[in-house]
Amino acid sequence: MTDDIHALTAELAANSESLVFLRLGEALRRRRQLDAALTVATGGGQRHPHLADSHDLLARVRSDRGEGDAAFDAWTQVLRLVPGHLGALRGLAFMAFRAGDMDRAERHLEAAVGLSPTDPALRAALQRVRDGQRQSATTSEALTTVDVAGTLLLDQKGRRLAGLMLDVTGSDVSDPVAAELAGVRREAERTARLVGLGEWQRLVAESPDGYWHLAPPTDDTLLLVTADPGTPPGRVAIQADRAFASARRWRERMR
């Protein structure tokens, strides 16, 4: 990958008008070199302002940097240039989902599936958003709260009970994440017991991609709430506590 980036950088240096900036910016984004990716995407966009893919690249980089408003503007610009651009629809659906606007997420995903009806990832994401809406309607209290990027409720065996988690490309990653989290719960319980912490209450992880807030609403469930990196930690805790209380009531009613 590093060699690829060197080669692409050299190619762009040799011809600044080349469209190779699209591949270079994406390679840098995937390596989480987001400052460099932003420089490449911005430069490419200035040289090719009418190229929809340049704005799409810029939007993905902005989204990864947690700059939601700028990402939204860039994807909107893509749709002005190419109505029905798949990447922009997917990106806007992800942003709507992250903001808790499931109606808008569904509309964008429906448009995307209409353009690419055989894409299994898009179809799965659309189905999950629809399932999530139905579930919310029947449980009266949605687990998803405003500004929370993803909320996932799972059982002891790592099976998803409610919620949805999408990655930055809009792909549904709920099941693989839930499967891994079952092991995290066991390890958190063991650590708390051995170190004398008593019953574990919560596990919070910070990364450059945001916050993960894990807590056991009941003895047979685990709740994950994720939030963007720019969210104040105290606010994440309040949102997580709210989702935690909803999940506990929901689980009690299911018994």
Partner 1 sequence: MSRGFETILDGITRVQGVRSAVVVSAEDGLVVAESSMEGIDSAALAALTASLVSRLGRAMAAAGQLPPAVIHLEGDRGHVLARPAPADLLLVAVAEATANVSLLRLTLLDAAERMPS
> Residue numbers of the site for partner 1 (CB under 8 A)?
32, 150, 165, 167-169, 173, 176-177, 179-181, 183-184, 187-188, 190-192, 194-210, 212, 226
Residue number, 19 or 182, with CB nearest to partner 1:
182
Backbone angles phi, psi at 34, to 5 degrees: -75, -30
Smallest separation (angstroms) from partner 1 to the CB of 224:
8
Residue number, 17 or 206, with CB nearest to partner 1:
206
Helix/strand/coil for 104: helix
Smallest separation (angstroms) from partner 1 to the CB of 132:
17
For 49-126, where are the E strands, in sequence order? Answer: none
Smallest separation (angstroms) from partner 1 to the CB of 166:
9
Smallest separation (angstroms) from partner 1 to the CB of 195:
6
Residue number, 51 or 165, with CB nearest to partner 1:
165
- Beta carbons within 10 angstroms of residue 106's beta carbon: 19
Smallest separation (angstroms) from partner 1 to the CB of 206:
5
Residue number, 238 or 254, with CB nearest to partner 1:
238
Residue number, 139 or 171, with CB nearest to partner 1:
171
Angle 215-217-218 (CA atoms, 0-180°, nearest 5)? 125
Pairing mode, strands 160-164 and 148-155: antiparallel
Smallest separation (angstroms) from partner 1 to the CB of 183:
5
Residue number, 112 or 165, with CB nearest to partner 1:
165
Instruction: Quickly list DSSP for 87-103.
Output: HHHHHHHHHHHHTT-HH
Report the 3 state secondary structure along 212-242: EEEECCCCCEEEEEEECCCCCHHHHHHHHHH
CB 211 within 8 A of CB 227: yes
Residue number, 114 or 183, with CB nearest to partner 1:
183
Burial class (CB in 10 A: 0-12, 13-18, 19+), 231: middle
Single out the residue of 172, 154, 139 nearest to residue 221, CA to CA. Answer: 154
Angle 62-58-45 (CA atoms, 0-180°, nearest 5)? 145
Smallest separation (angstroms) from partner 1 to the CB of 151:
13
Compute the distance between CA of residue 1 and CA of residue 196 in angstroms, rounded to an integer: 45
